[in-house]
Amino acid sequence: MATVMDGKVLILGAGGPVGAAAIDALKDHYQLRVTDARPMAEAAEGPRQSPRAPLPELLGAPHENRVVDVSQYDQVLAAVEGMDAVINLTVLRPHPVLAFHVNEIGAYNVAKACVACGTKRLIHTGPFHSGLGYDSDWWNDFRVGDDIPIHPADDLYALTKYLGNDITRIFAEEHSLEVLTFLYCHFRPREILPEERGKGIHPYASSWEDTGEGFLYGLRAGAMPSPYETFFMCSRLPHDKYRPDKAKRLLGWEAKDTFEVLFSR
Amino acid sequence: MKILVTAAESALGTMLCQHLAREHDVVPTGRSETADVDGYRCLDLTDPEAVATNLEGVDVVVHAVPCTGEQDREQSEQELLDWVSRSTYVLTTAACSRGVKRIVLLSTLDSMRSYDERFIVTTDWQPRPRASAPALAPHMAELVGREIARTGKIEVIALRLGDLGVEVSEQEVVEAVVNALDSELGAQYHWAVQHVASSGRFVR
């Protein structure tokens, strides 16, 4: 069983707000190797990705901070060595070259390094693009479940992450590496400001705080039914467009935030 | 028909250019500075502007990079994977913007070989490439082509070629490519896959 109840966990791409949430949720339970393409001290200083997005806490011993370029296999391998689990939060959206290097080649390097090092569990992450503006996306559907195939269209960010997902799946299935892929769409803070009441919410949304806690559940969950499992990591909302059923069933995780005041009169 | 061929400097690309040039206006392109092909142009497929310029007036692209993109000595496995994936993305998106009608994407049957040898493996079966860059590269190219084709902006037909001289002859590859230039894809689909083999377990 690949359950990781304690030990050492590597976080790649920890400089963003999801990394900040993951650090906050995991720092008291694991010895973390926190990495990003830029120094974590720099990431901790900001600026924020959006006005209310969290910044990562700069951790001291016994944790470790390190610069890792995920497109460089040697750096990834050195970072993965000695880790019980790996969380890959790396992402690059608009750049026509680096999007491939980070989202596709980075995923290849991480999966390969995990196999080489015998890592117990890899939590891979990526976007669920609920709408890409064409007829084959899922925007007009309801009751969409975790295992539905992603349709990235020609969107650079969506497509390169999609390729990275499939590479990770292929490594998982060939080498019995246990991979949990967490999919996200819209993030927001847990705190609801008075002026936000009744303004509505994206139907695939999660708070930063719930997002961070999801990693703790991901590491501690029991054996998965197959080497590669995909999860919708979002709040259960009455819109009933997206159903995060699998996360509750297999991880025991359910978002605490339901954001009712955002869509109530 | 004006046809742009990629990887024209490869043995397969050169052979296809020679055959297609008998009836079509062929634009042979490749990464090498020069190649022994009439009208050859050196073209960096990861340069969107250069690709768009070379697609001017092109009706169909025969994209041979995915099945010829073998790792050379100076290229890391990551560079190979990046090259095949990214060049396919740049080429396909540029082709959409230039109004190219179709891409014939040449892939390989290697992604289907891990199934039990007793099985007759058709295009209805999920590709199962090995977890290595050379095996993943043609599969990634197929995914790029399929997902962009889903937008309806272009038609992409993937030909998974069997081993030349073993499962398929050169003549059969040429015939498959010629047929794919303007064959019907079926219904309203913009994506299709064909296995190109005359013997073995990949044909019904």
pLDDT at position A60, please?
Answer: 97
Kindly list the distances between the CA atom of residue A245 and the CA atoms of A229, A240, B57, B94, B131, in Å, as whole numbers in the listed order.
13, 11, 50, 40, 30
Mean pLDDT computed over A30-54: 97
Cβ contact, residue pair A159, B89, below 8 Å: yes
Cα→Cα distances B1→A66, A209, B25, B89, Å: 55, 58, 6, 23
pLDDT tens track for B126-170: 999 999 999 999 999 999 999 999 999 999 999 999 999 899 999
CB < 8 Å to B131, chain A: 111-112, 115, 167, 170-171, 174-175
pLDDT at B91 over 70: yes
Identify the residue whose tokens are 């095949």.
Answer: B84
Phi, psi for residue A4 in degrees, rounded to 5 = -120, 95
CATH number of the domain at A85, please: 3.40.50.720
Question: In this structure, is residue A105 part of a structural domain?
Answer: yes
Residue that has been written with the tokens 């296995």 in this structure: B195
Measure in Å the smallest separation between the Cα of B82 and chain A Cα atoms. 7
What is residue B7's predicted lDDT score, i.e. its pLDDT? 96
Q: Please report the sign of the dihedral spanned by the C-alpha atoms of residue B123, residue B128, residue B134, residue B139.
A: positive
Instruction: Answer whether residue B204 shows pLDDT above 70.
Output: no
Query: Is A66 contained in some domain?
Result: yes
CATH of domain B2-196: 3.40.50.720
A3 domain residue, yes or no = no
Rounded to whole angstroms, the Cα distance separating B113 from B201 reads 9
Confidence of residue B199 (pLDDT cuts 50, 70, 90): confident
Q: How many domains does chain A have?
A: 1
Residue A69 domain flag: yes
Q: Confidence band (pLDDT; 50, 70, 90) for B76?
A: very high
Q: Which of B47, B150, B154, B188 has the highest number of chain A CBs within 10 A, making it the mutation to test binding with A?
A: B150
Task: Please indicate whether, in this complex, the C-beta atoms of B150 and A151 are within 8 angstroms of each other.
Answer: yes
pLDDT of residue A95: 94
What is the Cα–Cα distance from B116 to A56, expressed in whole angstroms? 49
Per-residue model confidence (pLDDT) at position A120: 86
Q: Do B143 and A166 touch (CB under 8 A)?
A: yes
Q: Are A126 and A89 in contact (CB under 8 A)?
A: no
What is the structure's pLDDT at B201?
A: 86
Mean pLDDT value of segment B174-191: 92
Cross-chain Cβ contact B89/A100 below 8 Å: yes
Closest Cβ opposite residue B78 in set A109, A170, A171: A109
Report chain A residues whose CB lies below 8 A from the CB of B90: 96
Task: Give pLDDT, residue A105.
Answer: 98
How far apart CA A199 and CA A223 sit, in angstroms, is: 40
pLDDT at B75: 86
To the nearest whole angstrom, how far is the Cα of B151 from the nearest Cα of chain A? 6
Q: Which tokens sit at B110?
A: 């290697």
pLDDT of res. A133: 87
Please list, in sequence order, all residues whose beta carbon lies within 8 angstroms of the beta carbon of residue B171, skipping any fewer than 6 positions away. Answer: none
DSSP class of residue A27 equals T
pLDDT digits (tens, 9 = 90+) for A147-205: 999 999 999 999 999 999 999 999 999 998 999 999 999 999 999 999 999 999 999 99
Tell me what the mean pLDDT of segment B43-59 comes to: 97
Q: What is the mean pLDDT of chain A?
A: 96
Asked whether the predicted pLDDT for residue A72 surpasses 80, the reply is yes
User: Closest residue of B to A166, CA-based?
Assistant: B140
Contact across the interface for A136 and B129, Cβ inside 8 Å: no
Smallest CA–CA distance, residue B150 to chain A, in Å, is 7
Q: Which domain holds residue A232?
A: 8-262
Closest CA to B20 of B180, B162, B160, B155: B180
Q: Does the pLDDT value for residue B71 go beyond 60?
A: no
Instruction: Return left, alpha or beta for A37; rule: phi > 0 is left, psi -120 to 50 is alpha, else beta.
Output: alpha
Using pLDDT thresholds of 50, 70 and 90, give the confidence band for residue B200.
confident
Q: Do A136 and B82 touch (CB under 8 A)?
A: no
pLDDT of the residue at B72: 66
- Six-digit token string for B16: 């296809």
DSSP string, A49-92: SSTTPPPPP---TTSEEEE--TT-HHHHHHHHTT-SEEEE----
Give tens-digit pLDDT for B128-138.
Answer: 999 999 999 99
H or E stretch at B144: helix B133-149
A114-153 residues touching B, CB cutoff 8 A: 115, 134-136, 151-153
Partners of B151 on chain A (C-beta within 8 Å) are 134, 136, 153-154
Best residue in A163, A169, A176, A177 to probe B by mutation, most B CBs within 10 Å? Answer: A163
**What pLDDT sits at residue A1?**
62
Residue B64: φ, ψ to 5°: -95, -5
Taking an 8 Å cut-off on Cβ atoms, the answer to whether B147 and A154 are in contact is yes
pTM of the model: 0.96
Question: Where along chain B do its domains lie?
Answer: 2-196
Would you state the pLDDT for residue B121?
Answer: 95
Q: Over the range B67-106, which residues count as b (16 or more CB within 10 Å of their CB) and which as e?
A: bbbebeeeeebbebbbbbbbbbbbbbbbbbebebebbbbb
What residues contact residue A132 under an 8 Å CB cut-off, 6+ apart?
A139, A151, A152, A153, A155, A158
**Higher-pLDDT residue of A115, A2:** A115
| Tens-place pLDDT, residues A224-250 | 999 999 999 999 999 999 999 999 999
The answer as to whether A253 is a domain residue is yes
Decide: A174 and A155 in contact? Cβ < 8 Å. no
Q: Has residue B68 got a pLDDT over 90? A: no
Any domain includes A198: yes
